Amino acid sequence: MTALLDSLSPLPGGINALLIIISALTSAITAAVGVGGGLLMIMAMAQVMPAAALIPVHGMVQLGSNVGRTALTWRYIDRRTIAAFLPGIVIGAIAATWLLIRLPAGILELCIAAFVLYSCWGPPLPKHALGFTGTVVAGATTTFLSSLIGASGPMVSAFIKQSQAYRLNKVATFSACMSLQHLTKVFVFGLAGFLFHDWLGLLFAMIACGFVGTWIGVRLLHHLSELRFDALFKGVLTLLALRLLWMGIQRLAG
């Protein structure tokens, strides 16, 4: 077993095992609460993974997790939102391929935190912001940011929160949007020269265990009331935004 775990990636076997367990737990959190697992996962991976591999590997694991969640909730997907989000994803991916740059440390985190907190506690977004054009812009912006910082889930979910009324629609539509968004990372980082081959064993193991966590989380989701789900959803988004706010302030301070 130790030899098998060691062979999964360039990381030690014990670290690989820990990441596999984290994948299952964070997938269950996202499926049950609607958001949070992706950011928690990238925070854990950042502690043990080389910087060059962090965002590409995280993106592939999240692709598998979101595809599994989409498959389990496909009946509740808002297809009109997906149809508008998809062109934005293409635009954002093209921009990320040609403009893969970083803003000053901390600025991205502060911008995302501000948007999420506004979406949770501020007045509703204007109706035109939730229409076709607004959704295209949201898709392009979050896809581009995702290629820079890895976890754009809180920003996407904050937008989906405004456009969907029911918990299952929120989770299903969010999962479909994120599946498409993470799929672009195969091309963005492939063109950038990242070699996924060395990480395939760990990727498959994390995706498989992540699906188990997703299945458990979806079962829990069906038993949550709309009121309780909304409270958990807003609470988790707020905590993640405050975490991003603190990270942004720390990075700006040097």
Residue-wise pLDDT tens for the chain (254 aa)?
A: 788 888 998 899 999 999 999 999 888 888 887 767 777 787 788 778 887 787 788 888 888 888 988 998 999 999 999 998 999 888 887 877 666 555 566 676 777 677 777 777 877 766 666 778 888 888 888 887 766 665 667 778 878 877 887 888 988 998 899 898 888 877 777 766 677 788 999 999 999 999 999 999 888 888 888 788 878 878 877 887 888 788 878 878 86
CB 156 within 8 A of CB 115: no
Q: In terms of residue numbers, what domain contains 101?
A: 2-253
Q: Give the pLDDT confidence score for residue 19 in this predicted structure.
A: 93
If 0-12 CB within 10 Å is exposed, 13-18 middle and 19+ buried, where does residue 43 land? middle
Q: Give the pLDDT confidence score for residue 151 in this predicted structure.
A: 61
CB-side exposure of 243: number of CA atoms within 13 Å? 13
Q: Give the pLDDT confidence score for residue 242 in this predicted structure.
A: 85
CB proximity list for 64: less than 8 A, separation 6 or greater: 203, 206, 207, 210, 211
- Angle 132-149/51-73 helices, nearest 10 degrees? 140
Distance separating alpha carbons of residues 136 and 146, to the nearest angstrom: 15
Distance separating alpha carbons of residues 146 and 100, to the nearest angstrom: 11
DSSP code of residue 186: H
Q: Give the pLDDT confidence score for residue 224 in this predicted structure.
A: 80
Here the tokens at position 129 are: 């912001």
Q: How many domains does the chain have?
A: 1
Distance separating alpha carbons of residues 185 and 140, to the nearest angstrom: 13
Which sign does the torsion angle of CA 98, 59, 109, 33 carry? positive
Here the tokens at position 184 are: 């672009």
CB 40 within 8 A of CB 243: no
Q: Give the pLDDT confidence score for residue 167 in this predicted structure.
A: 84
Distance separating alpha carbons of residues 20 and 187, to the nearest angstrom: 24
Question: Is the entire prediction scored with pTM above 0.85?
Answer: no
Nearest to 211 by CA among 161, 248, 244, 175: 175
Q: Give the pLDDT confidence score for residue 157 in this predicted structure.
A: 80
Q: Give the pLDDT confidence score for residue 149 in this predicted structure.
A: 60
Residue 195 CA, distance from chain mean position: 21
